[in-house]
Amino acid sequence: MTFKIYLASFTACFWVMNTIAQKKQNIYFLKDNGKYVSTKDSAEFVRIIREPDSASVLYNLLDYYLNGKLKMVGKTAEIKPIKLEGTTISYYPNGNRKQVATYTDGIYTGIIYDYYPNSKLYRSSSRQMVPVYGKGNNVYDKQINSVDDTTVLQIFHPIGISTETVYNVFDSTGIQTVKDGNGHYRVFNQENKTFESEGDLKEGKKIGSWKSIISQGNFITSEQYDENGNFTKGTCAIANGSAVKYNEIDLMPSPRGISKSFSAEFYKYVNAPAYKKQTDKGLLYVSLIIEKDGSFTHVKVFKKTSSDLDFEAARLIKESPKWNPGLQHGVPVRVNNNLFISLDY
């Protein structure tokens, strides 16, 4: 990786710091959702990645708010995208500490400490990544089999599914409300600085009735959990006055008979003599968004094979029957997914 030094583009205090450090570095402009943009005017924060310290292979990572205050500091094993390693500290725009966490291979490990904007400790917790299928970076949440039981589509999440264990919780004045996983838990949203749900915990698991406010009050949910922490039922009240009942909190999108028709058409195309010779066996990777009505948009092939085959895969997906949309709390949502398409014909 070639490091470049960019001059005159950011707040003066950075350049004082950079001059003192004398470190080679890269500077990136990003949105809060992690998307890279080309200019500071389009950015919501700035990322500086510096060369490793002596005797280290980890890059130094510093994120800054546009007002020049530190947003996050830590180490990363990779540059773009980053893969956090070791202790990482993030901060609120007012300069107070927001979170202290430890990462291994880009995944939370150990105890996570979250704070209120007034610098008081909010909670201590841990998160465990629980993959459903696959290994390494090829973990996926759901597989869909074709009529001949050959895996055709695999909906995957690159690092698995996160489960949270809460140990201790405090209110913003320092009074403890949850101790050793037991007590009343008010969930604080650190981004918009509001409480978004509350209920009781027993040994770190939700029990009884839980109330949540979602999407600035557009959805209000009431959910029930048994004594073992298992979700049993829920109702979502929608701002337009309607309500929906649900038996699962999250439902991934699912096909309405797409598997057979898609596989048949795609394999017919792949097996054509003109394309079979130029197509390697393996997996074709496709990213897409499944809309609230189950239709496909933003279809993009990101492991290239041949241009014709890539185009055909994208076309067949776009023209396939709509799926059942993804649901959260019984309400349809847009879902960004990646698909594996088997080429082992």
Highest averaged pLDDT of the listed ranges 134-143, 218-227, 316-325:
218-227
Q: Fill in the DSSP letter of residue 140.
A: B
Between CA 254 and CA 242, with CA 235 as vertex, the angle to 5 degrees is 90
End-to-end CA distance of the chain: 38
Considering the chain, what is the average pLDDT of its residues? 78
The pTM for the full model equals 0.71
Q: Would residue 211 count as lying in a domain?
A: no
φ, ψ at 118 (rounded to 5°): -85, 10
Closest-CA residue to 103 (of 123, 77, 124, 122): 77
3-class DSSP state for residue 261?
Answer: helix
Tokens of 338: 């990646």
- Is residue 111 assigned to a domain? no
Question: 3-class SS at 174?
Answer: coil
Q: What is the mean pLDDT of residues 140-159?
A: 39
Residue ending a domain, choose from 63, 95, 127: 95
At residue 87, the 3 state secondary structure works out as: strand
Structural domain that includes position 310: 251-342
pLDDT digits (tens, 9 = 90+) for 234-285: 999 998 889 999 999 888 787 775 455 555 555 555 554 444 444 455 566 7
Please indicate, yes or no, if residue 79 is contained in any of the structural domains.
yes
- Could you tell me which of 113, 135, 108 has the C-alpha nearest to residue 123? 113
Q: Is the residue at 173 inside a domain?
A: no
SS3 16: helix
Q: Say which CATH number the domain at 266 has.
A: 3.30.1150
Predicted confidence (pLDDT) per residue in 14-66, tens digit: 444 444 456 689 999 999 888 899 999 999 999 999 999 999 999 999 999 99
In a domain, 230, yes or no: no
- What does the CA dihedral 161, 166, 167, 171 come to, rounded to 10 degrees? 150
In total, how many domains does the chain have?
A: 2
Structural domain ending residue among the three candidates 95, 116, 140: 95
Sorting pLDDT into bands at 50, 70 and 90, what band is 128? confident
In whole angstroms, give the CA distance from residue 301 to residue 167: 43
270 phi and psi, to 5 degrees?
-65, -35
Contact 317, 296 (CB under 8 A): yes
